[in-house]
Structures are given as structure tokens and as C-alpha cells.
Amino acid sequence: MTHSKQSVYEPLTESGAVALAARLGLFPEGTPFICQEIGDGNLNLVFHVFDPQTKKGVIIKQALPYAKVVGESWPLTLKRAVIESNALRTFADYVPQYVPKVYYSDESLAITVMEDLSHLQIARKGFIAGKTYPLLSQHIGEFIAKTLFYTSDFGMNQQQKKQLQQNFINPELCKITEDLVFTDPFFDHETNNFEEELRRDVEALWNDDALHLEVAKLKRKFLTEADALIHGDLHTGSIFASDTETKVIDPEFAFYGPFGFDIGQFFANLLLNALSRSEHEPLLAHIEKTWNVFTHTFAALWEQHNVEPYAKTEGLLQDVRQQTLIDAVGFAGCEIIRRTIGLAHVADLDGIEDQPTRIHAKQLALQLGRQLILHRQTIHEVQQIRSLFFQTFAA
């Protein structure tokens, strides 16, 4: 694995991506590469460079110095590429089976070269197409449990944890989440984006003092609680999947944050898909299984590998578990509202072609998000999320 700091930044072209792939020595000399820019996310260039005969290839990802979703008027740090490659390498220490291999990174070009996952599909696209991904919740539950436990004060020497934390100070990307997830959708802000038919529902959120208080508490947790190294943007567009494999990608938002955040974002995006279709069960089952796998895996690690002298204290694990679920439910509510009326929507809802059906699904999303935030303290078991989901439909 190489890590270079030599070059001067310029955006990659397709021919530049091919030249880089050839230079890395991962392929036989003279490989007749094909290159396609395939980035459909909000922030980066992504090139798929491959040999059309063997189908073997690599992904070359480059951060742009601005947010692609908005344009050059929104400058954005290139350091996120280093955060991303460091996070992938750190996650690979604990769950190599669930992240792409990093072959090379160049800090000044903001480039990461990684394993080609083109045999898999982005989970959001698959869910929209009706796929169910039977192993997804097993894999994501394990991914979250192991990465959170081993990078926390329970799974790692507490001095080493603080040193690791220094590599993941990520103020600009955290600010995007602080603004776009926890603030702007709850006020009349220019980044918001919604159909006029939703105005009454949206204005009700802007004038809801009880909701504001609860979102402010959740935002404070996001700002201050450094439990573990979190992915920071674990929506279904950050996961490649098939019926047998799962790979988590794009951890450029990684930082030391609260235990419940990744779980909440994942739950939210499953719920957004469930709201967009008539067959809810596979999504609700994934939420429950993710939580059950997470809690069992985390508890087993706690039992066997905990470094904290208070680990065996009666009630501590239960308290961590309970608070993590409550926080995850609240974070999920914020993410659902943000993906419905804020910046960076999701295709699950926006792709509903029939306008009245789309508006109705979005109204339900706003109601569900609000309920999750306001009632999170009453959630003691994951099955209660299912009840809130169906109560939203019945209301």
C-alpha cells in the first residue's frame, strides 16, 4: 500500500486515471484499459478503470475542492480524501470483509485507489428496484458493532483512542451534517428544497418549539459525544451489496461521534425506502435484525475484550445499549426529515413519479421523522420502531 504526498492538485481526467492505474503496477504492462467516470454522489469524481478482457479493474476516487451537488460556490476541503482512506484502513483492521481494499492514496491529489466493486450494486438502487438483500442486516450489524466497539474506550486503550481520534478531526464535513441534518430543515433556510404542496407541513416543523428542543438535544450529542470512530454518512447509497456480499464505502464524513449515529442513519434510509413502497416488511425486518446483530455482537465483544475497569459493573452495558437505541431513533428522525425537505434528497422518495403519491409519501416521512424524534425516549425495544411506522400510516 502506497501513500504519496508529492503531487500538486488538479482534477483527474479519464486519461489521467488510466495513466495512474497503469503506473501502480497492479495490472500487466500494456493492459488496454477502459475508463468511465461513474460518480453519481454529491461530492466526488469516481473513475472505474478496467481491463475489458479480464474485467479486472480499480476504482479511482478523487475529492473535488467543492461540493459537486451544489457547484464551485460551495468550497470543500480536500482533506476529506485522507479521512476517507484512513477510515477505510482503520475499519479494515476490524471488518476487512465489509470494506473495499485501499491500494494507494495521494493526499495532495486527494485520490484514493481502491478495490473494484462493480459486481455489486448500490443498496439504495437495489432497494428501489425491489431487491431485498437477505444478508445486509447481518453484515451491517456486525460492521457497526465491531467498528464502534474496537475504536471506543471499551475496546481500545484509552490513550491510544485519543491519538487515533486526532486523525479524524473533520470539522468541515461535520459542519455539513450539523447544518444539513440538524439545523437547516428545521428553519426557513435557503438550502431547503421541497414541493410547494408540502409548505404547510414544513412550516409546521419550523414553528414546532417542542421539536426544536429535541433536535437541539440531538445536535448537541452529535457535536460533543466522541464515543467511537463512526462512518458519519451511513445511508444506503454508501453501501454496495449483493445477495451474498456487503461493502461499506465513502467514509469521508468519519469522525469520533456518538454510538447511535450510524445506526440511526441506516435505519432512516431503510424507513425512507419502506415509505416509498407498499411492501414494507423486508425493510422493517432489516432494521430489527441490524439492531439484534449489533447488540449481540457488541455484547460479546464487551464480555471478552473490554479494557474498561467498570466493564463488569451491573447495568453499564444495558445503559449503553438503551441510550444508543434512543439516540439512533432520534438521529433517524432528523435524517428522514432532512432527506425529504433539505439538501440532498433520496431517489426512494423523489423517484415516485405519480405526484399525489409522492407528496403523500413525503408527508408521511415528515410525520414519521417528527414522531421518532419526539418519542425516542419511550423506545425500549427495536420493534417499537415498527409500531411507530404503522401508527404514522394509520393517523
* Three-class SS state of 103: strand
Q: What is the number of the residue whose Cβ is closest to ligand SR1?
A: 42
Pick from ligand SR1, Mg ion, none: which does 328 bind, CB < 5 to 8 A by kind? Answer: none
Q: How far apart are CA 276 and CA 124, in angstroms?
A: 12
Question: Cβ 336 to Mg ion, closest distance in Å?
Answer: 18
Question: Cβ 41 to ligand SR1, closest distance in Å?
Answer: 6
251 annotated to bind ligand: yes
Binding positions for Mg ion, rule: CB under 5 A: 41, 250
115 annotated to bind ligand: yes
* Nearest CA among 330, 127, 325 for reference residue 220: 330
233 annotated to bind ligand: yes
Q: Which is nearer to ligand SR1, 18 or 76 (CB)?
A: 76
Question: Cβ 235 to Mg ion, closest distance in Å?
Answer: 8
**Any long-range contacts for 126-133 (C-beta under 8 Å, 24+ apart)?**
126/241, 127/236, 127/270, 127/273, 127/283, 127/348, 128/273, 128/276, 128/347, 128/348, 128/351, 130/277, 132/282, 133/241, 133/242, 133/243, 133/246, 133/286
Question: Cβ 262 to Mg ion, closest distance in Å?
Answer: 13
Binding positions for ligand SR1, rule: CB under 6 A: 42-43, 67, 69, 176-177, 180, 233, 343-344
Q: Which is nearer to ligand SR1, 344 or 372 (CB)?
A: 344
153 annotated to bind ligand: no
273 annotated to bind ligand: no
Residue 15 exposure: Cα atoms within 13 Å on the Cβ side: 0
Pairing of β 57-63 and β 66-67: unpaired
Q: Which is nearer to Mg ion, 43 or 341 (CB)?
A: 43
250 annotated to bind ligand: yes
Question: Cβ 251 to Mg ion, closest distance in Å?
Answer: 9
Q: CB within 8 A of 139, min separation 6: which ones?
A: 98, 246
Pick from Mg ion, ligand SR1, none: which does 344 bind, CB < 5 to 8 A by kind? Answer: ligand SR1
CB contact at 8 A, 239 and 249? yes
338 annotated to bind ligand: yes
Question: Cβ 255 to ligand SR1, closest distance in Å?
Answer: 13
Pick from ligand SR1, Mg ion, none: which does 67 bind, CB < 5 to 8 A by kind? Answer: ligand SR1
How would you class 239 by CB atoms within 10 Å of its CB: exposed for 0-12, middle for 13-18, buried for 19 or more? Answer: buried
Q: Which is nearer to ligand SR1, 180 or 218 (CB)?
A: 180
CA distances from 374 to 167, 349, 370, 387, 392 (A): 35, 23, 6, 15, 13
Pick from Mg ion, ligand SR1, none: which does 180 bind, CB < 5 to 8 A by kind? Answer: ligand SR1
Pick from ligand SR1, Mg ion, none: which does 211 bind, CB < 5 to 8 A by kind? Answer: none
**Residue 297: DSSP 8-state:** H
353 annotated to bind ligand: no
Q: Which residues are annotated as a binding site for substrate?
A: 233, 338
